[in-house]
Amino acid sequence: QKEVEQNSGPLSVPEGAIASLNCTYSDRGSQSFFWYRQYSGKSPELIMSIYSNGDKEDGRFTAQLNKASQYVSLLIRDSQPSDSATYLCAGETSNTGKLIFGQGTTLQVKP
Amino acid sequence: EADIYQTPRYLVIGTGKKITLECSQTMGHDKMYWYQQDPGMELHLIHYSYGVNSTEKGDLSSESTVSRIRTEHFPLTLESARPSHTSQYLCASSKGYGYTFGSGTRLTVV
């Protein structure tokens, strides 16, 4: 079992819809989680961080963390074609502080 | 705007050549990382450093080496490049709240 797991997709949504990206993790001691967006051929860019249970909203993005279920999600409201990218979930390991990345979910937003 | 710089951005080099990929950051971050990523594939950690004179190998075995003589500088060296080293190399730094990535170096070994 991978330490951070994501469905590789692709996840296809129509423009204007809500895109829901999900991630599970195995390290119960992990406290911090991050969502990165990576456009094709580019480097990952941090878009959201979340440290406590519940929701955190930033513009069209909402990150959700449920530590009991070891589950992290990213909601993108009013999806735009420019949101089409690979989204990487990462959790900070409890013993080393390194980030463990999932394999990424490819999102396609169709006009 | 990210203050972590990687050079060169693209590099095409012949088999057997020695190469050094440069990574510098101006944020004073103690932790720095090198990742390897093939197109459409996941990130693989190949080296990391938690401070000056501290370097460790990552999860993916790599024939490259790194050094950390200054906080801001974390170069990666391949003594003898091979076609199997063709990939994108990403440098990142951190002070504990997520990583900031450089723009990457796309290496092609012919």
Q: Return the percentage of chain B with pLDDT > 90, whole number.
A: 88
How close are the terminal C-alpha atoms of chain B, in Å? 34
Average pLDDT of A77-100?
92
- Separation between Cα atoms, residue A79 and residue A60, nearest integer Å: 8
Q: Is the pLDDT of residue B8 over 60?
A: yes
The tokens describing B6, both together, are 């990687």
What pLDDT, in 10s, does the model give residues A23-63?
Answer: 999 988 898 999 999 999 999 999 999 999 999 999 999 99
Across chain A, what does the average pLDDT equal?
Answer: 94
Task: Out of A90-94, B50-54, B84-88, pick the least confident.
Answer: A90-94
Residue with tokens 């895109």: A19
pLDDT digits (tens, 9 = 90+) for B55-103: 999 988 789 999 999 999 999 999 999 999 999 999 999 987 889 999 9
Which chain A residues have a beta carbon less than 8 Å from that of B95? none
Q: B1 pLDDT band (50/70/90 cuts)?
A: low
Please give, rounded to a whole number of angstroms, the shortest distance from the CA of B96 to a CA of chain A: 7
Partner-chain contact A98 B48, CB within 8 Å: yes
Burial of B36 (0-12, 13-18, 19+ CB in 10 A): buried
**Residue A96 pLDDT:** 78
Percent of chain A past pLDDT 90, that is, above it, reads 85
Residue A8's pLDDT is what? 87
Which one of B42, B89, B94, B103 would you mutate to disrupt binding with A, by most A Cβ within 10 Å of its Cβ? Answer: B42
Mean pLDDT taken over chain B: 94
Q: In whole angstroms, give the CA distance from residue B73 to residue A92.
A: 23
Q: 3-state DSSP call for residue A26?
A: coil
> What is the average pLDDT across B34-46?
94
CB of A98 within 8 Å of any CB in chain B? yes
pLDDT at B2: 57
CA B46 – CA B23 distance, rounded (Å): 14
At residue B73's C-alpha, the angle toward residues A89 and B79, to 5°, is 90
Quick one: pLDDT at residue B97?
80
Question: How far does B19 lie from chain A, in Å, by closest CA?
Answer: 21
Alpha-carbon gap, residue B45 to A82, rounded angstroms: 28
Question: In chain A, what is the straight-line distance between the N-terminal and C-terminal CA atoms, in Å?
Answer: 36
On the question of pLDDT at A93 being above 70, the answer is yes
Report d(CA A46, CA A30) in Å as an integer.
18
Residues with Cβ within 8 Å of A27's Cβ and at least 6 positions away in sequence, in order, are A3, A91, A93, A94, A100
The whole-number pLDDT of residue A1 equals 66
